[in-house]
Structure 1
Amino acid sequence: MKKRRIFCAAAVVAVLSLSGCGGQGDLDSSAKGATELTKEANEKVYTMLDFKDEQEKKYAEKGLIAAPEELVLKDESGKIVWSQKAYDFLENKEAPATVNPSLWRNTQNNHLYGLFEVTEGIYQVRGYDMTNITFIKGNTGWIVFDPLMSTECSKAAMQLVDKELGKRPVKAIVMSHPHVDHYGGIKGIVTEKEVKEKNIPIIVPEGFEEHAVSENVYAGNAMGRRAGYQYGTILDKGETGAMSIGIGMGQSTGTVSYISPNDEIKKTGETRTIDGIKMEFQMTPGTEAPAEMNTWFADKKALWMAENCTGTLHNLYTLRGAQVRDGNAWAGYIMEAAGRYGKDVKVVFQAHNWPHWGNQEINTYMKNTASMYKFINDQTLMYINQGYTSDEISNMIKLPKDLEKNWYTRQYYGTVAHDSKAVYQRYMGWYDANPVNLNPLSPSDSAQKYVEYMGDTDEILKKAKADFDKGEYQWVAEITNVLVFADPENKDARYLCADAMEQLAYQAESGTWRNAYLSGAKELRQGTTSDMSLKANSSADLKKSMTTEMMMDYMGILLDSNKAQDLNLKINLSFTDGDPYLLTVNSGVLLYQKGVQDTKADATLTMPKAGMAAILTGDKDAQKKSVKIEGDQDVLKKLTEHMTSFDYFFNIVEP
């Protein structure tokens, strides 16, 4: 576990002033404005793009039915979990010097929230969370697509629909893929009791639950922490703070829920007719998610593209961490959709951003979107086969001019640079073939050697300060972060590294890059945050939905095998509501076998599946009630004393 270092920048404000460096002045813990070089870089954006073209804004505004004057959503404790009011500073203003003008425009468009009509019988509530929630009007009720991330947000969206369109029962829920912002708000729409009693279909692509659990539990703690950087949850909103992330304003921090699906789509062309609405599904696995699907409404000539077309360049690798996506498959499925439905389609709509209308416009939109992913995939592979490494390729690759000029293919969320790294990772892995990089030192150890070789730290800082004044912000961030990893108490290095990342943020077109830079700068100045109100309130729903084998896999993740290397156990698991298993701990490594029992096991645990959940959570009272132990009565203690817990706010920009 990374040790969290509390660095109180407020206690030590201005420190060593480096004379003769000019421009930046003293190094201190305060946020800075844009430098002249950053202002110049952002001014150049106006010459690169056609700011007179406001077609995307017109699409974002089209069909507005109603919106509250102010949108601030709170949970039961009064914590603000979502706010569009926080972005009021955007209205009727030109981009300030501290924001890339292209990102500023995208943020203004994402600030357009409310209830919208997509086409007759299809409505969306947009801007109530990172994701759109979509309502398809059936004969008697609603079919709901992708019920947002937080229950507070989906409930508020439902209330807006009830008010403006009249109350109607939920007849079905479709969840296009297993990312939390597409299912976490489901209990703001329906309850588990309603789903069971009214037999409400919850329709998902095959493999949905497996991936929902594995992504959000196995590496969930680390992904959650990193998502805070990606989505800017620790940042204030403002001209020097968080903007949009290209697919919405950011991440809500309300209550995350989950209800297990009861209807899986297994192949393209499958249909469901619910409440008079016929839906045809197109499977798109390995694109934006391992399990994902588009939906065609033939009667309305409307195509739901899930998160496969979003009006921006998406991620082949997401900064929070996830399985790398297949750019080639992504492009292929978009083109398959165009082939199946492109002749008839009149509107394309999706889980983020706004729809596009008109057959010709849609076909061009889909072709250009597919071209982005295909270009990044193929061009990266071309460079790979010429011997270039991941870092080299990411600095070489650039979209063709005709693709760059479209507002809907700009790099607001994903970037060509880090998507190319995803392609490299997919095909080549982490190793660049240089044997020097087979087993490098840890960052702290190598940082200390760098400083030892480079000599006087003050001289390094003086040179870095001079490079800052020349606008070499990436290099300054790199070299000063080496100093931070060599000595986290070096306040000058922390502040200069923060100042450099801040300027990188102000120039970034990608909202996620901006957030990451600014989050790193904030924690260098103020120390790693520990404010739990900044994270979503995860319910136990997802962990309850884990299979027995998933629970044992997670137990293996929690077990510190190095500390437990002398531990050897055999435990029969006799589940009253499932198959038996033999759990073996071999030199601290947890293994299991289905349908196997050992008469010579150290102990036999008889319990329902819920008993395994109690063991994982450390709930001793629940264990006593649900787990019967025959044999070694200390077997659970021997096992669980070597299980670790995860500190959510681990360090990122320092050791």
Structure 2
Amino acid sequence: MSIDPKGATPATAAANKAALERYAMDDVEDFETARRGLVAPIPGGRLTNDDGAVVYDVERFAFLEGDPPAPDSVNPSLWRQSQLIYQPGLYKVTDRLHQVRNNDIGNLTIVEGDDGLIIIDCTTGIEPARAGLALYREHVADKPVVAVIYTHTHIDHYGGVKGVVDEADVASGKVPIIAPGTIASFDKYAIGENVIAGNAMSRRASYAFGNLLDNGPHAMITNGIASVGGHNITVSYLSPTDPITETGQTRTISGLTFEFLYAPDTEAPEEMHIWIPELKALTCAENANHSLHNIQTLRGARTRDARNFARYLDETLVRWGDEVEVHYGPHTWPVWGNEKVVEFLESQRDTYKYIHDQALRLANQGYTPLEAAEVVDLPPALGRRWFNRGYHGTLHHDVRAVFTKELGMWDGDPVSLHPHTPADSAQRLVAMIGREAILAEGHRAIDAGDYRWAAQILHSLVFADADDAEARGLQADAYEQLGYQAEGPQWRGIYLTAAKELRDGVVPARFASASPDTILAMPLDILFDFAAVHVDGAAAADADLRIDFVFTDRGETWTMWVRHGVLNARPGSSPRAQATVSGPKSALVAVLVQPKAAAALIENGTVAVSGDASAIAAYSGIVDAFDPDFAIVTP
């Protein structure tokens, strides 16, 4: 039985009240601009998938209606941001450019050309993308889609592509998909990030984005950049067909000019900014947002280069700063007016460069990442701007991320070079100090409102004995209050999900970035990389296997071998192959990453095997299965 959340303590209520002094509460301009240009709300306020499961329901956020004041259980800055982004609907940004916002974590941007529509980013799933396009066609223009543009390699920008375009039209060349980087590079980063490390990333994302929580003042408010995302959606993928690899490249599409600024190694490994001169409209993708962004995501993507954020924003200002009249993003709402856009981009540029420079200044003085994060603060001219607040990244973990990017994972302190595991350290600490003394200190810290220390000291009891119900409950209380005080919604999500799982046990996953469609779209080299991370190295240490795979629907053959605990593969067949497996890619994917399914596929004729079939059984014995619900707050 699920245990209800507890209320905010007096200490948390006081902390959230005191936080008001840090914020520019007198700056209310965003409440006008976030609602500007509304054409139509989401019909019925609810969206379902083909199975009838709810993808989006406006009633989940009814507690935000009417702009009520922040409750004690929510940081007032996060409450304000949540009120601003809780505006689901179709919006006019400028002539010929509309957005559907907040029926998914990402915006669907639609540009109207002379004879068709250009879609810029496609949301995370087919259902919100399809519904957004239908809403546009109902109220604005019923034209065909003539091009799709991905601004970067993240799932909430390409996952809905099959909701706006037919795969056959892309394959035939009728509808191009334009994206940054080479086609191979985009595929590698889009699919590799979300699939090869997808199980771990999805589990961590379920904490950070609050996917396992209800919505409400004592649960998840919003994710800080949209009011919804990640529930019951169908993720799709189509590879780009038209790569952008240099700044200054242009495309003329349906009577409009699209000029690109190539900005790799920023918010994503492959990313680009887009300028439409006829509309004087600019997007810097996720390099400029109504939020500080992540330099290192809490879900676990590659560490970004904060200096590059600043560098490419400055280059954008040089190229188009004199002309731009509106900046629209793939999340949140636009910025209108040349002066406002330039001010916005300059401030974001300076924020990322300040974080980068100050982190390295302190590193060069001998600070560790955590020590630096505790003392770096943005100057008021930057920190009091709402769009620089930490609704996605936070200043604290972004400073630490600069250390990771520039100096690596070690913090420079010998004690952290080869520490004991958390469980082993916990058992030693409890044996030394005693359970009762640690528990008493946890109670004292809770009573004093010292929740960071309470969570830290009680961690040892939980990791020494995961069945210690009293310690789990007390640590949950500490995490819950930390969540209520957090300005960053991902910090809130992590703390509140930790509290929930300490009280109720692991909540089953509701979303996986490694969707079937994404896995099937993998280029074959990445497919074998995906198979390789499933191999149990210890179990495979003495294995000596070589298997050829014939992809009958692609006309390609690859040879795969496992020796010394490592899976390698390359194009072509091998005269030393012990077995040859033939079939369509969809079936061979299952043989590679779910080999226990191979027998059924062979039996029903979907897959054919020649040679020594026992090689397939041997391979099955060394392949690991991933648990999507692995433990986080317990050992």
Question: What range is the shorter-chain TM-score in?
Answer: over 0.9
**Partners of 1:583 and 1:537 in 2: CA distance:** 26
Matched residue type, 2:34:
A
Aligned to 1:585: 562
After TM superposition, the structure 1 stretch with the greater mean CA deviation from structure 2, 569-578 or 249-258, is 569-578
SS at 2:92's partner residue?
strand
Instruction: Work out which of the residue numbers 545, 548, 559 in structure 1 matches 2:521.
Output: 545
1:536 deviation in Å? 5.4
Question: 1:588 offset after TM fit, Å?
Answer: 2.2
Contact 1:313 1:410 in 2 (8 A): yes
**Does the 8 Å contact 2:462/2:472 carry over to 1?**
yes
Question: After superposition, where does 1:546-625 map in structure 2 within 5 Å?
Answer: 546-573=522-549, 577=554, 580-595=557-572, 597-606=573-582, 609-610=585-586, 612-616=588-592, 617-618=594-595, 619-620=597-598, 621-623=600-602, 625=605
Work out the CA distance in 1 between the residues paired with 2:407 and 2:621: 39
AA in 1 matched with 2:13: K
Query: Quick one: distance in 2 between partners of 1:558 and 1:310?
Result: 37
- Asked if 1:31 is matched to 2:8, the reply is no
Match of 1:471 among 446, 449, 459: 449
Separation (CA, whole Å) in 2 of partners of 1:100 and 1:259: 40
2:486 to 508, 521, 537: 508
Matched, 1:637 2:617: yes
In structure 2, the partner of 1:490 is: 468
Contact 1:528-1:649 within 8 A present in 2 as well? yes
Shift of 1:610: 4.6
The CA deviation at 1:628 is 4.3
Matched position secondary structure for 2:454: helix
Aligned 1:396-545 pairs, distance under 5 A: 396-455=375-434, 457-530=435-508, 532=509, 534-535=510-511, 539-545=515-521
Say if 1:538 and 1:155 are closer, same or farther in 2 by CA, change over 3 A: farther
Per-residue deviation, residues 38-82 of structure 1 (Å, max 9, x unmatched): 111111222222322111121101111121475221122222122
Partner Cα distance (1:30, 1:355) in 2: 38
Shift of the alpha carbon at 1:175? 1.0
Given residue 564 of structure 1, which amino acid in structure 2 is its aligned partner? A
Question: Equivalents in 2 of 1:603, 1:69: separation in Å?
Answer: 55
Deviation at 1:582, TM superposition (A): 3.7
Contact in 1 for aligned 2:42/2:90 (Cα 8 Å): no
2:9 is aligned with 1:40? no
Alignment of 1:70-109 (within 5 A): 70-92=44-66, 93-109=68-84
- Residue 182 of structure 1 corresponds to 157
Mapped partners of 1:77, 1:525: distance in 2? 31
Identify which of 141, 147, 168 aligns with 2:143. Answer: 168
How far, CA to CA, are the matches of 2:30 and 2:4 in structure 1? 36
User: Which amino acid is 1:554 matched to?
Assistant: F
2:238 — aligned with what? 259
Q: Does structure 2 conserve the Cα–Cα contact (< 8 Å) formed by 1:255 and 1:538?
A: no
**Are the counterparts in 2 of residues 309 and 350 from structure 1 also a CA contact under 8 Å?**
yes
Which residue pairs with 1:3 in the alignment?
none
Give me the whole-angstrom Cα distance separating, in 2, the residues matched to 1:539 and 1:459: 47
Q: Structure 2 vs 1, CA of residues 609 and 454 (structure 1 numbering), >3 Å: closer, same or farther?
A: same
Q: Which moved more, 1:156-165 or 1:600-609?
A: 600-609
Aligned 8 A contact 2:198 2:512 in 1: no
| Cα shift readout 1:150-195 (whole Å, capped 9, x = no counterpart) | 1111121112112111311111111111111111111221221343
* Contact 2:540–2:563 (8 Å) recurs in 1: no
* Matched position secondary structure for 1:408: helix
Partner of 2:205: 227
Is the CA contact 2:236–2:518 (under 8 Å) kept in the aligned structure 1? yes
Q: Distance in 2 between matches of 1:109 and 1:148?
A: 19
- Whether 2:290 is the aligned partner of 1:311: answer yes
Identify the residue that residue 327 of structure 1 maps to in structure 2: 306
Structure 2 CA distance for partners of 1:261 and 1:622, relative to 1, 3 Å: farther
For 1:338 and 1:241, locate their aligned partners in 2 and report how far apart those are by CA, in whole Å.
40
For residue 221 of structure 1, what is the amino acid of its counterpart?
N
Residue 381 of structure 1 aligns with an amino acid whose one-letter code is L
Q: What is the DSSP-based 3-state SS (H/G/I as helix, E as strand, rest coil) of the residue aligned with 1:583?
A: strand
Q: Does 1:120 align with 2:99?
A: no
Partner Cα separation in structure 2 for residue 554 and residue 287 of structure 1: 25
Distance across 2 between alignment mates of 1:539 and 1:598: 31
- The residue type equivalent to 1:117 in the other structure is K
Distance 1:31 1:626 in 2: 50
Superimposed CA distance per residue, residues 542-575 of structure 1 (whole angstroms, 9 cap, x where no aligned partner):
1122122112111111111111212112334455
8 A Cα contact 2:202 2:513, kept in partner: no
Contact 2:194-2:513 within 8 A present in 1 as well: no
Deviations 1:453-478 (A, max 9, x none): 112x1232122111111111001011
- 2:29 is aligned to 55
Q: 1:376, 1:535 → 2: CA distance?
A: 32
| Contact 1:130 1:181 (C-alpha < 8 Å) held by counterparts | yes
Distance in structure 2 (CA, Å) of the matches to 1:339 and 1:264: 24
Mean Cα deviation higher: 423-432 or 219-228: 423-432
Distance 1:352 1:433, change over 3 A: same
Trace 1:188-207 onto structure 2 (pairs within 5 A). Answer: 188-196=163-171, 199-206=174-181, 207=185
Counterpart CA distance in 1 for 2:147 and 2:614 is 48
Q: Any idea what the Cα deviations from partners look like across 1:611-635, whole Å, max 9, x if unmatched?
A: 5313124443445645544432211
Q: Distance in 1 between matches of 2:578 and 2:86?
A: 60
Q: Is the 8 A contact 1:211 1:290 kept in 2?
A: yes
Q: How far is 1:516 from its partner? A: 0.7
Q: How many residues align?
A: 625
Q: Write the letter of the residue equivalent to 1:613.
A: V
Kept in 2, the 8 Å contact 1:56–1:408? The answer is no
Other-structure match for 1:17:
none
Question: 2:228, 2:369 → 1: CA distance?
Answer: 29
Equivalent position amino acid for 1:87 in 2: F
Partner of 1:290: 269
Q: Distance in 2 between matches of 1:174 and 1:49?
A: 36
Give the corresponding residue for 1:654. 634
Measure the CA separation in 1 of the matches of 2:601 and 2:190. 26
Contact kept in structure 1, 2:266 and 2:305, CA below 8 Å: yes
| Aligned amino acid, residue 201 of structure 1 | P
Kindly state the Cα deviation for residue 36 of structure 1 after the two structures are TM-superposed: 1.2
Cα distance in structure 2, aligned partners of 1:631 and 1:69: 58
Query: Contact conserved, 1:128 with 1:153, CA < 8 A, in 2?
Result: yes
Corresponding residue number in structure 2 for 1:15: none
For 1:343, which of 322, 327, 336 is the aligned residue? 322
Corresponding residue SS for 1:160: helix
Say if 1:30 and 1:373 are closer, same or farther in 2 by CA, change over 3 A.
same
C-alpha distance in structure 2 between counterparts of 1:60 and 1:336, whole Å: 27
Aligned partners of 1:495 and 1:524 also within 8 Å: yes
- TM-superposed CA distance for 1:125, in Å, is 0.8
Q: Deviations over 1:198-250 (max 9, x none)?
A: 71111111122111110111011111111111110111111111112221124
Contact 1:572 1:598 in 2 (8 A): yes
Task: Tell me, in whole angstroms, the C-alpha distance in 2 between the residues paired with 1:245 and 1:398.
Answer: 23
1:66 matched to 2:40? The reply is yes
Letter in 2 for 1:586: R
Equivalent pair of 2:194/2:514 in contact (CA under 8 Å): no
RMSD (CA atoms): 1.9
Paired letter, 2:578 = D
